[in-house]
Structure 1
Amino acid sequence: MLIRSIILSRSRKHQSLANFFAGSAFASPENANSSIVKLAEEGYVASYLVNSCGLSAADANSASKKVHFDDIDKPNTVLNFLEKQGFSKTEIAELVRKKPKLLLANHEKFLLPKIEFFLQLAGFTKEDALTTLSKHPHFLACSVKHRLAPVFNYAKDVIGTVKAQALLRHGSWAFNIDPNDRLIPNVEYLRELGVPINCIELALFHCGNIFSQEPIKFREVVEEVKQMGIDPTKTMFIMAIEARSGKSTLELWDKCYQVYSKWGWSKDDIYMAFRKHPHCMLLSEKKISETLDFLVNMLGRDPCSVAHFPTIIMYNLEKRIIPRCSVVHLLSLKGLVKKDWSLTSVLAPAERVFMERYVTKYTKQVPQIYDIYQGKKLESVVGH
């Protein structure tokens, strides 16, 4: 009641502003009143989200633009329901932050069936179910009959119950796909081709969106990838399908192709790199250009040689490529390592291995080597 009184009071004060704007050449009375009503609603909702749901002011302000109500009876009913189900205050805040429209849902018809699905059909513990739903509230918007249950049952048959449960915990995109028209036909096509279960698991867990394509289109993409010479039994096959699926992804692929071409890569170079690491065709122009600029113009490497080891381009330039290459380049100038050192042998090893092999080992001969690795003296190394 206190919040309602405050909002009503503010609305009365803003009415004079509405009258002022009504006479303005820039707004009609209807538009002015509409804007103020909307402002009052958002302020009312935001206050409720902070005081009753535990959201921060910034999150409440953002969420208030996605849900509108002028009566707290329905939201209160939903909050009480969530509390009785066992959701913690932190979990409720997370749910509301991600899906504020849940506050207006019919808890018996809309929310309860999803919770019962996790407990009864999926076999989750109560704690596990609530934790999963708070992390992935989009499940609360999925139909149990048409999405959650059929996808889960199919996943159990393909990868087993434990991993099917893990798909839910992971928030897999697969549960957003129509199972009968798209997901199942597309997965079955991969199985017919001999794609191993571990690769199908990879797709379901990390790039389930590839199965959202119409089966005809999906088969075209798969055939295209096969024609590129990528082995269907390897994980790269799934990664390649992902890189060739979807309009936005294909547009990015084309841009990457153009960038690599500008750096002198031939079509064969680009396709070879794609076969070795498909995600090299899903990078930004800036990432590709900055990495090749350092490797070519600062280290003097042949740009086409990098195509043989496309994984190199995937590494972080500032945190991995520059500091590591700077250290080894200096060591080569001092004759401590061979001048034709391999980029992969320097960039691929784990941090501990690199430190032992190239930093700790040479601290006596090159006292400043640690500072160079930390990025404090790069200008004295590269370019020489």
Structure 2
Amino acid sequence: MFHIHIKIISPTSQKLVSSLSRNPWLWLPPRLISTSSPSSSSQGSAFAFSYLTDTCGLSPERAITLSKRLKLESSERPEAVIEFFKNQGLSQTVTSKIFRTVPDLLLANAQKTLKPKLDFLKSKGFSTSDIHSILLDFPELLRRSLKNEIIPCFDFLDNMFQCKNRLRKTVVSHSCVLYDIAKRMEPNIKLLREEGVPESHIVRFLEYYPNTLKSWPAQFKKAVLEVKGMEIDPLKLQFVILVHVKLRLSKSTWARKEGIYRKWGWTDNDISAAFRVHPFCMCSSDSKIEEVMDILVNTLGCKSSDILKCPSVLTMSLRKRIIPRGSVVRALMSKGLINKLSWTAFRYNELKFLDKYVHCYDKEANELLKLYKAKLA
């Protein structure tokens, strides 16, 4: 006698199987698609997987991991959160980014946890567009404590910025400034003040490089002492820029850049001098340093030591400045119209460059302009 066993697939499991059919390369543990007598735990995992992939756009791999952790058994709470974001004017793009980055917010209490944070930002003058940018940049902000982190951080920044518009732009561009200030940023700012750095320069530092100001205090102090040892005046803006670059580059990266410059004949003193004048010469990619050096030395006939007079050229755009202008200079040199390269060829804005190196040569102007435009990419 034959016994026929019929397994009824629940709607939740049907949805899961549908998700799997769209990702045939993915194999899930059998317990996630067991349909005989599913436990509430496996049902919850199956629903969570389906919801995370279909509604929130998470990858199947991440959805599997999260479905085991999130106690997501129905769509009631997440739908309330989604509806809240929609009513707040947040786009689907922003909402999807939030859930992909911080899926736990699917279980948040929208009115008690999320609304007060957005209301606070609005009360400080941030527009809906600003809030979009902030949440796209740092969705994690919605998990931070409004009372213990966001408000104290904003108040700290508010006391530093005299211009509220600059404060707003800083928060929109660098949302990381709204958390974890006390442990890192405050000690680092205190150190800069102790070293005599003007408040206006500290604010500029905060405005452009807040992540650097949030370096661990021990690392930050080390960089400050290194720059101080270079006898750079703390009253100059260059001081904080040098600190920023020192912290941005790892020890191995710094050593590699030094090796490239030595290859072109620079001494340790030359490298140090160039860094003091234009710190970002140490931030250009290895290939760019090589290419700029090659054009200046091998094509335009400079001595590598001459580049120390204008190290900023090492950070200029190859396609928009170095190559097209270098081509014009080379053509002028080949015609005997100029004897050697002047750094003004790269320093001038475009109108002045064309005036001084193209239009002033009546007979050659058309040819030079065509060459310039052909090389300008």
Query: Which TM-score tier does this pair reach, normalised by the shorter chain?
Result: 0.7 to 0.9
1:45 aligns with 2:52: yes
Within the candidate set 174, 193, 208, 1:206 is matched to: 208
Query: 1:25 aligns to what?
Result: none
Give the C-alpha shift of residue 92 in structure 1: 3.4
**Aligned ranges 1:278-293 → 2 under 5 Å:** 278-293=279-294
**Aligned ranges 1:141-160 → 2 under 5 Å:** 141-160=143-162
Hey, what's the Cα distance between the residues in 2 that align with 1:236 and 1:211?
15
Counterpart code for 1:310:
P
Query: 2:273 aligns to what?
Result: 272
Query: 1:187 aligns to what?
Result: 189
Query: 2:260 aligns to what?
Result: 259
Hey, what's the Cα distance between the residues in 2 that align with 1:206 and 1:70?
44
Counterpart code for 1:33:
P
TM-score where L is the length of structure 2:
0.78
C-alpha contact (below 8 Å) 1:272/1:307 kept by paired residues? yes
Between stretches 41-50 and 271-280, larger displacement belongs to: 41-50
Between stretches 313-322 and 263-272, larger displacement belongs to: 313-322
Give the C-alpha shift of residue 269 in structure 1: 0.3
Q: Residues 99-158 of structure 1, C-alpha deviation per residue, up to 9 Å, x if partnerless?
A: 5554343424442232132134xx225536534434433432333233322222122222
Q: Residues 207-240 of structure 1, C-alpha deviation per residue, up to 9 Å, x if partnerless?
A: 1122223434422321210111222122221121
SS at 1:375 equivalent: helix
TM-score where L is the length of structure 1:
0.77
How many residue pairs end up in the alignment?
351
Gaps of 5+ in 2: 1-10, 35-44
Hey, what's the Cα distance between the residues in 2 that align with 1:255 and 1:43?
48
Query: 1:356 aligns to what?
Result: 355
Query: 1:333 aligns to what?
Result: 334
Give the C-alpha shift of residue 172 in structure 1: 4.5
Q: Residues 171-219 of structure 1, C-alpha deviation per residue, up to 9 Å, x if partnerless?
A: 254334332x321121122123221233212211221122223434422
Say if 1:213 and 1:93 are closer, same or farther in 2 by CA, change over 3 A. Answer: closer
Hey, what's the Cα distance between the residues in 1 that align with 2:360 and 2:64?
58
Query: 2:85 aligns to what?
Result: 82
Counterpart code for 2:90:
F
Within the candidate set 239, 242, 245, 1:240 is matched to: 242
Query: 1:296 aligns to what?
Result: 297
Between stretches 285-294 and 366-375, larger displacement belongs to: 366-375
Give the C-alpha shift of residue 258 in structure 1: 1.4
Within the candidate set 7, 14, 17, 2:15 is matched to: 7
Give the C-alpha shift of residue 283 in structure 1: 2.3
Between stretches 105-114 and 273-282, larger displacement belongs to: 105-114
C-alpha contact (below 8 Å) 1:66/1:100 kept by paired residues? no
Within the candidate set 164, 168, 172, 1:165 is matched to: 168
C-alpha contact (below 8 Å) 1:173/1:207 kept by paired residues? no
**Aligned ranges 1:4-153 → 2 under 5 Å:** 7-10=15-18, 33=30, 45-49=52-56, 68=67, 71-89=74-92, 91-93=94-96, 95-96=98-99, 99=102, 102-120=105-123, 123-125=124-126, 127=128, 130-136=131-137, 137-153=139-155
C-alpha contact (below 8 Å) 1:172/1:204 kept by paired residues? no
C-alpha contact (below 8 Å) 1:243/1:253 kept by paired residues? no
Hey, what's the Cα distance between the residues in 1 that align with 2:140 and 2:225?
33
C-alpha contact (below 8 Å) 2:108/2:114 kept by paired residues? yes
Between stretches 160-169 and 316-325, larger displacement belongs to: 160-169
RMSD (Å) for aligned C-alpha atoms: 3.7
Counterpart code for 1:302:
K
**Aligned ranges 1:224-235 → 2 under 5 Å:** 224-235=226-237
